[in-house]
Amino acid sequence: MKFIAGLAAVTLLLVPVYAQVFTFTHDDMLKYTAQNPFERFADGRPKVPDTLLERVKGLSAEEVWAVLPEGGFRNQYEGNFRILHPNRKLVGRAVTAQFMPSRPDVSNIMQADAKAKGMRDNGNQRVIDLLQPGDVLVVDLFGKIEGGTVVGDNLATYIYAITGTGLVVDGAIRDLEGIQPIDMSVYCRGVHPTPIGDVMLTGINVPIRIGNATVMPGDVVFGDSEGVYFIPPQMVKQVVDRADETHIHDEWTQMKIKTRKYKSTDIYPTPRDPELKKEYEEYKKQRLGQKQ
Amino acid sequence: MKFIAGLAAVTLLLVPVYAQVFTFTHDDMLKYTAQNPFERFADGRPKVPDTLLERVKGLSAEEVWAVLPEGGFRNQYEGNFRILHPNRKLVGRAVTAQFMPSRPDVSNIMQADAKAKGMRDNGNQRVIDLLQPGDVLVVDLFGKIEGGTVVGDNLATYIYAITGTGLVVDGAIRDLEGIQPIDMSVYCRGVHPTPIGDVMLTGINVPIRIGNATVMPGDVVFGDSEGVYFIPPQMVKQVVDRADETHIHDEWTQMKIKTRKYKSTDIYPTPRDPELKKEYEEYKKQRLGQKQ
Amino acid sequence: MKFIAGLAAVTLLLVPVYAQVFTFTHDDMLKYTAQNPFERFADGRPKVPDTLLERVKGLSAEEVWAVLPEGGFRNQYEGNFRILHPNRKLVGRAVTAQFMPSRPDVSNIMQADAKAKGMRDNGNQRVIDLLQPGDVLVVDLFGKIEGGTVVGDNLATYIYAITGTGLVVDGAIRDLEGIQPIDMSVYCRGVHPTPIGDVMLTGINVPIRIGNATVMPGDVVFGDSEGVYFIPPQMVKQVVDRADETHIHDEWTQMKIKTRKYKSTDIYPTPRDPELKKEYEEYKKQRLGQKQ
Amino acid sequence: MKFIAGLAAVTLLLVPVYAQVFTFTHDDMLKYTAQNPFERFADGRPKVPDTLLERVKGLSAEEVWAVLPEGGFRNQYEGNFRILHPNRKLVGRAVTAQFMPSRPDVSNIMQADAKAKGMRDNGNQRVIDLLQPGDVLVVDLFGKIEGGTVVGDNLATYIYAITGTGLVVDGAIRDLEGIQPIDMSVYCRGVHPTPIGDVMLTGINVPIRIGNATVMPGDVVFGDSEGVYFIPPQMVKQVVDRADETHIHDEWTQMKIKTRKYKSTDIYPTPRDPELKKEYEEYKKQRLGQKQ
Amino acid sequence: MKFIAGLAAVTLLLVPVYAQVFTFTHDDMLKYTAQNPFERFADGRPKVPDTLLERVKGLSAEEVWAVLPEGGFRNQYEGNFRILHPNRKLVGRAVTAQFMPSRPDVSNIMQADAKAKGMRDNGNQRVIDLLQPGDVLVVDLFGKIEGGTVVGDNLATYIYAITGTGLVVDGAIRDLEGIQPIDMSVYCRGVHPTPIGDVMLTGINVPIRIGNATVMPGDVVFGDSEGVYFIPPQMVKQVVDRADETHIHDEWTQMKIKTRKYKSTDIYPTPRDPELKKEYEEYKKQRLGQKQ
Amino acid sequence: MKFIAGLAAVTLLLVPVYAQVFTFTHDDMLKYTAQNPFERFADGRPKVPDTLLERVKGLSAEEVWAVLPEGGFRNQYEGNFRILHPNRKLVGRAVTAQFMPSRPDVSNIMQADAKAKGMRDNGNQRVIDLLQPGDVLVVDLFGKIEGGTVVGDNLATYIYAITGTGLVVDGAIRDLEGIQPIDMSVYCRGVHPTPIGDVMLTGINVPIRIGNATVMPGDVVFGDSEGVYFIPPQMVKQVVDRADETHIHDEWTQMKIKTRKYKSTDIYPTPRDPELKKEYEEYKKQRLGQKQ
């Protein structure tokens, strides 16, 4: 009994307090991420294991795409970002935040809530202070550039120090010259010197929209030099397993291509000649064995 | 006792059931629209009186703009719409709906909820069936044109039959040829023959964003040939009162202009000559008297 | 024998001479429009009968869309036009023309060909002179506005005098003030005072692309106030038959809606109550009988 | 002597006082419009005679275009306007104004100048008060929409009362609902409810740029439903004379086309058959006689 | 005799078989590239010699532009590409391909043709398998990004292995991370993870349009960090010869500029002082001698 | 006396001659830059001292922004440039030039003026030859890309040889491959191979507009990897002084952040804990001492 009570206390301690219009309760989080096969954070957010995140780092964009739409997930990709460090893969667990254009009647109520809970004024920092190692902050700032700058170099330094990952924002950053040298992945729509303003933080760790993608808290964020995927936790294992096979396929195909002895249709997408097909199957079998 | 119980039953009957990720409870609605000076619907949505709505119909866009930013409401206007019947004023109480790109893990749960509550599949109809006379449906479909068509001519006919007003959608409509002849105001981003698809209804009567404006359920929607304003209930009276004075000012100014006896700076924005100023003040006093 | 020889002569007379890089032979035309169930013009272009065109005039955009994608035709619609006389339906048989940016090495050869065949210089007029009653000229001018003006008011007058229909151009027109009073349907991307220039006519009655639609000679062009459909001849009958039923469905649905006695989900998309369903089925049966 | 002195006094009275960074002196005006063949206003601005303006009203866009580029004037047209009353021809003499984004160090000096000269604060009204019958105000507001609204309905009423023409602005207007009913031509880039702000008036009656056109004070403004031409005074006569002939050509051509007896190449752009050519020449001769 | 017969057989073997709506016969190819002064491939495509291609690699964009428009070729340049390896010059002989939005009636016929000829399904690979060393694939995919990805990393590897050059596509690529490390030039409009889809291959080695440029098979493709030129074979020699002189001019001019002893107008575009002019002429003479 | 006369002669020699529609006299320059606290060039243009420019090189964009709007300067920044060498700071004194679309009546007069003063034809070179060490050429070419190329590699070499800084153009450059290797900062809208054409130089060292910024001759140009600021001379000292403090603040903040011992709200924007606040104040005091 005592043990349970103690646990509850700890949980209460760990579950962050919010002051937003939209907040998922612990129950909401469980309900809408019910398919998550992994453990969870104190607030219910799915926690895809680090070992799996490590494997995600080896993925290519096509390998994600090859699996998600088949599972009915057609709206999990967004491109058209300005990307800092495009050659650095961004992989982590989504912490989501939603902003809207400010209106004082709503904004004042949330500010009063925040104050009552001992929080500071700035909405962006309220979210940032929730971040944990391996998290990726994903922010809907509705494409706002001027006054839509979620962080400057000080807060970017903070995010990277805590998470070791990066940031996705449908909005802007400021202080590019201070952020560029930090080895963190940033996906934004633009850069502007203005501080963030005339917006209000309306949601934390709720479903948000980034362009044409719907993001859930706990999704695995995968960013490469093309754009960003938001992979539902329950799909991650399937994606990385399929990718192993694709890697081997591409390895073999490109090896053959470089001999310059074949037409592309002889070997791609699949070898046409039965002999070649057999050769490929054996190669795959052997390499899959090595991978496991 | 019995009375109270009966009242509760009625309320339960009147409060709509929802199946969305984001829903305002009755308490949320009261909290975030606390400044509403008027009565409310069963679900707590502010109900600006019909008599006031009638006066709003006489407003011009400038008269709204002249008051809202002063009150700190700088994000209550959105333009860039395709407008059917631009010469017909759209005035009513906002019923809001938010859609997001569909993802099956979230969508299925909401569909199951809906089914359990005896609702039909189509998200757009779930909202439409909540409409009451004088309501204006305001829909965030994130600018989607193809597959972002919230209504065709059948549902448009329904909306107009029930509300007598119109529709604002950050998305599209279909069946333009069937909708055009209906004398209803429609503000949309485009027209496309596809039915609505690949989206999920994520919120009903919650704060939504239409372009750069934040809309609350119960806001007074005011659409003219330029665009749409969303006026918080607590600001409506102030707007219409100020407008009366502006009307008189413009009436007098334009009367003077048409004499061709003055430079524009002699009479606008305010008369420069003391004699003229006095004439204007008397005119205003007399006309304000007529208005009351 | 003599008869056949005579026929051949006539055919040669009727088959237009061309001077373009891309031209369909009579055989090409038969091969690529093999599914056409109707008679053909001398050059093999499908000739959907006038009686069927007449029924197409009664269609709405949704009725076309309801059938084409099911048949695998997903790329037969294009919007984003500037439309003169949007309330006038444009219906007719496509005559296609393709222009490219001019380069003298290719252009000179086509000009020499044209001259050798006794044709005049202007590519646009070479196509226009092929038009017959009921034809609709469909022109790919790759979105060119300045210098992409396929006709001015003189040639527009000509087109309307001959065809009685209108014009679709992924490019521009000039002399808007002279064309506007003509009661012809024009779908263009813009208006510019420059004459057509720096382009060469590269194809007549070959497959062309208008935005995201592929158009074949002989397609039925259907333009309404939303955009333009290009309906393959073999699909036309199916489209108009299905439309009859849709008309009746909408007629009944809207009749019910206007009683204000139902929620939209009670009757749309299909009546929920068995009694209502029966009523609708009887109504449909009776009305279909009237249509035939 | 006295007479001359008096004349000078009158001139001084008529020449407007300015308070802008860029102002043409009387000498500048004469120098840069040296080819003007007509009389001038007091400040040197060319004054194309009313009788000629009257003939300009009968022009079409193509007739202007047919002459200007030949004379080396390739940059005198601008389209892409939102046009109120597109069917009303806008014809008059250009009064130009240039605005720039405001900066206080420059703006304050101009405001001080204006104050010292007894002018009011508002830059837009300083220009508007210079307008005379037959003038057209042409304003460079660098495409600004929000806060780039050169007039609302009061000042629009003023402009129309004085000039009887209209307005061209590379910027916006506000109070569309009040302006629409006025029968004046307005060419703008957009409509916004904000008043003009954060700009400073930098030039009056100097060369300005409207999109890709360069406008000089005194140019004849010609607006139709396609866009606006700015015709240098020295070109006006040549344009209207040539137009007479074009009118006759089109009259004859369309008359022939409507007989449906010719291919377009038989008669357009010029009749091919010698007999027809002769017929046309006689028609032209006779009609030109009627015109004079 | 036997030899000739054998040659014919070989030729037949070498001339590729096609299955497209638009195909140039050997005769068409000769006719429309009649000015080609060089040898040809088996299918008639001009084959600008390797030695000349080598000299083209030393060109700058301005040197191409300096010659082509003079020869009437104003539409041979296209910019606005996303360029991989912009500092690597792309030089080779154009192999052209045209895609259109798919429609099953046309697509099925081409697929049947392809199958009958023993080809595989994928249109893009049919073209890719025609490539030879020194070729550059130029593809019209009408700007399609999603589903407009002509190659991923496997086929890109193939193209580079065979041609040693690169790729120009008015469309997209996928698998950027796999392609980036390959040292090949890629000019595309975007990057997307989707495979190519909903398009049909309509032309191989026919005239195509890339933005505002018309490309003929056998054109010399010249891509630098600004964009791509398509140089007709008959113009190549003239371009490289003129470039030699320009190189020398720039060499001398910049040498002088760096002394900081001259105003720019003293020496550029041509030296003004007779002494300097003489010095330049002597320098040019000497350096041209070195070049030959 | 003689000395003064001599000085006057020298001054006359140094004051450049112009041939533009818009030119600031020495008096205009003094009047509109009256707040300049520093010395001036012969033509009155403010000359911010080199030592101050040196300190500007250490600024970040945010530090400029932090000061200018407070002083009422809200329109001194412009982004959306294509930037060569974005990591190289561009700092110098603005020399401004304005171009407009050419019209022969105005252009010929300016050309005649130029000829009479012994200048060469090319407007761009007339401005370029005015440049002095430390100047930055800022050119309004109204966003023109094709034919809006203010310099190629020869003139770019010249500009860099003389100024040691760079170039800002609301237009284009050509010969990117020749300019890229020069270590100069270039901010342009695009790159095109065409030479500059169909424009006329209308102003030198007058106020100009670059996007949404108003630039005065003598402004300090500050370009970083985000965009360009134009800092009025009288604001420069204030900006650099404030920046010293910001540098120290960020230094301390990021030092603390990297300990990972604080929430962002504990230390940013200001330390919350009194102890920390004190620590920061002492740090600042000490570091400011080091800076002076």
**Average pLDDT in the F68-95 region?**
95
pLDDT surpassing 60 at residue D210? yes
pLDDT surpassing 50 at residue F14? no
Residue C207 near residue E100 (C-beta atoms within 8 A): yes
Q: Across chain D, where does the E strand assignment appear? A: 22-23, 77-78, 82-84, 90-101, 135-140, 166-170, 172-173, 185-188, 190-191, 199-204, 208-210, 213-215, 220-223, 228-231
pLDDT in the model for residue D15: 54
**Average pLDDT in the E53-78 region?**
92
Enumerate the residues of chain E whose CB falls inside 8 A of the CB of residue F175. 60-62
Please identify which residue in the block is written with the tokens 């009788």: D51
Residues of chain C with pLDDT below 50 are 1-14
Q: Distance between CA A93 and CA A112 in Å, rounded?
A: 30
* Structure token pair of residue A159: 């995010």
- Where is pLDDT greater, at F272 or E5? F272
Across the interface, whether the CB atoms of E125 and A265 are under 8 A apart is answered yes
pLDDT surpassing 60 at residue A206? yes
- Where is pLDDT greater, at F173 or A7? F173
pLDDT surpassing 80 at residue B65? yes
Q: Among D226, B77, F5, B269, which Cα is nearest to C194's?
A: D226
> Mean of the per-residue pLDDT values for chain B?
91
Q: How confident is the model over A111-146, as pLDDT tens digits?
A: 999 888 888 777 789 999 999 999 999 999 999 999
pLDDT in the model for residue C21: 87
pLDDT surpassing 60 at residue B31? yes
Burial of residue B16, with CB atoms counted within 10 A of its CB: 0-12 exposed, 13-18 middle, 19 or more buried: middle
CA torsion D80-D84-D87-D89 (nearest 10°) is -80
Distance from the Cα of B277 to chain C's closest Cα (Å) equals 47
Q: Which chains touch F (3 or more CB pairs under 8 A)?
A: A, D, E
- Where is pLDDT greater, at D117 or D120? D117
Of these ranges, B204-208, F111-115, F117-121, the one predicted with the greatest mean pLDDT is B204-208
Q: Among E108, C180, E281, which Cα is nearest to D86's?
A: C180
Strand partners, E121: none
Q: Distance between CA F178 and CA F193 in Å, rounded?
A: 12
Confidence band, pLDDT 50/70/90 cuts, at residue B181 = very high
Burial of residue F81, with CB atoms counted within 10 A of its CB: 0-12 exposed, 13-18 middle, 19 or more buried: buried
CA torsion A76-A79-A83-A87 (nearest 10°) is 70
pLDDT in the model for residue A17: 66
Confidence band, pLDDT 50/70/90 cuts, at residue D16 = low
Residue C135 near residue C91 (C-beta atoms within 8 A): no
Distance from the Cα of F84 to chain A's closest Cα (Å) equals 15
**Average pLDDT in the D71-92 region?**
95
Enumerate chain E positions whose Cβ falls within 8 A of a Cβ in F: 60-62, 64-65, 77, 79, 224-227, 250, 253-254, 257-258, 260, 263-265, 268-269, 272
pLDDT surpassing 60 at residue A12? no
CA closest to D172 among chain B residues:
B226
Please identify which residue in the block is written with the tokens 């496309």: B192
Residue D163 near residue D136 (C-beta atoms within 8 A): yes
Distance from the Cα of F264 to chain A's closest Cα (Å) equals 6
* Structure token pair of residue E137: 């694939």
Across the interface, whether the CB atoms of E101 and C216 are under 8 A apart is answered no
Q: Chain-centre distance of CA C106, in angstroms?
A: 29
> Mean of the per-residue pLDDT values for chain E?
91
pLDDT surpassing 70 at residue A9? no
pLDDT in the model for residue E1: 33
* Structure token pair of residue D152: 């609302």
CB atoms within 10 A of CB D291: 10
pLDDT surpassing 50 at residue A13? no
Residue B221 near residue B229 (C-beta atoms within 8 A): yes
pLDDT surpassing 80 at residue B113? yes
Enumerate the residues of chain B whose CB falls inside 8 A of the CB of residue A216. 103, 105-106
pLDDT in the model for residue C11: 41
For B4, the 3-state DSSP assignment is helix
pLDDT in the model for residue F72: 94
Confidence band, pLDDT 50/70/90 cuts, at residue A36 = very high
Q: Distance between CA E83 and CA C291 in Å, rounded?
A: 60
- Put residue D12 in one of left, alpha, beta given phi > 0 → left and psi -120 to 50 → alpha: alpha
Angle between helix A274-291 and A233-257 (nearest 10): 130
For residue C158, give the nearest of D61, D64, D257 by CB distance. D257
Which ipTM score applies to this complex? 0.92
pLDDT in the model for residue D120: 73
Selected for mutation to probe chain E from C105, C106, C142 (highest E CB count within 10 Å) is C105
pLDDT in the model for residue F10: 39
Confidence band, pLDDT 50/70/90 cuts, at residue A288 = confident
**Average pLDDT in the E46-75 region?**
93
Amino acid at B162: I
**What percent of chain F lies above the pLDDT cut of 90?**
80
Distance from the Cα of F30 to chain A's closest Cα (Å) equals 31
Longest dimension (CA), chain A: 74
* Structure token pair of residue B155: 């549902």
Residue D90 near residue D166 (C-beta atoms within 8 A): yes
pLDDT in the model for residue F221: 98
Confidence band, pLDDT 50/70/90 cuts, at residue A52 = very high
Residue E203 near residue E98 (C-beta atoms within 8 A): yes
Distance from the Cα of A135 to chain F's closest Cα (Å) equals 15
Across the interface, whether the CB atoms of E158 and A265 are under 8 A apart is answered no
Please identify which residue in the block is written with the tokens 């004079």: D292
Pairing of strands E166-170, D208-210: unpaired
Q: Among B159, B170, B168, which Cα is nearest to B134's?
A: B159
Q: How confident is the model over C83-137, as pLDDT tens digits?
A: 999 989 999 999 999 999 999 999 999 999 988 888 877 778 999 999 999 999 9
Across the interface, whether the CB atoms of D216 and F21 are under 8 A apart is answered no
CB atoms within 10 A of CB F110: 19
pLDDT in the model for residue A292: 59
CA torsion F32-F35-F37-F38 (nearest 10°) is -10
Enumerate the residues of chain D whose CB falls inside 8 A of the CB of residue F74. 101-102, 198
Confidence band, pLDDT 50/70/90 cuts, at residue D123 = confident
B200-231 in b/e burial notation, b at 16+ Cβ within 10 A? Answer: bbbbbbbbbbbbbbbbbbbbbbbbbebbbbbb
Confidence band, pLDDT 50/70/90 cuts, at residue B16 = low
Enumerate chain E positions whose Cβ falls within 8 A of a Cβ in C: 21-22, 28, 31-35, 71-76, 100-106, 109, 142, 198, 200, 202, 206-207, 209, 212-214, 216, 232, 234
Burial of residue E54, with CB atoms counted within 10 A of its CB: 0-12 exposed, 13-18 middle, 19 or more buried: exposed
CA closest to E251 among chain F residues:
F154
Selected for mutation to probe chain D from F22, F32, F219 (highest D CB count within 10 Å) is F22
Across the A:B interface, residue pairs with CB atoms under 8 Å apart total 94
Residue F149 near residue F177 (C-beta atoms within 8 A): no
First CA to last CA distance, chain A: 44
Across the interface, whether the CB atoms of F175 and E62 are under 8 A apart is answered yes
Amino acid at E284: K
Chains D and B touch each other (3 or more Cβ pairs < 8 A) = yes
pLDDT in the model for residue D212: 96
Amino acid at D75: N
Q: Among B94, B112, B130, which Cα is nearest to B200's?
A: B112
**Average pLDDT in the A79-94 region?**
95
Across the interface, whether the CB atoms of A264 and E155 are under 8 A apart is answered yes
Strand partners, C229: C77, C222
Residue A183 near residue F292 (C-beta atoms within 8 A): no
Q: Distance between CA B261 and CA B94 in Å, rounded?
A: 46
F275-289 in b/e burial notation, b at 16+ Cβ within 10 A? Answer: ebeeebeebbeebee
**Average pLDDT in the B54-74 region?**
91
Q: Among D86, D65, D49, which Cα is nearest to D229's?
A: D65
Enumerate chain D positions whose Cβ falls within 8 A of a Cβ in C: 60-62, 64-65, 77, 79, 224-227, 250, 253-254, 257-258, 260, 263-265, 268-269, 272
> Mean of the per-residue pLDDT values for chain A?
91
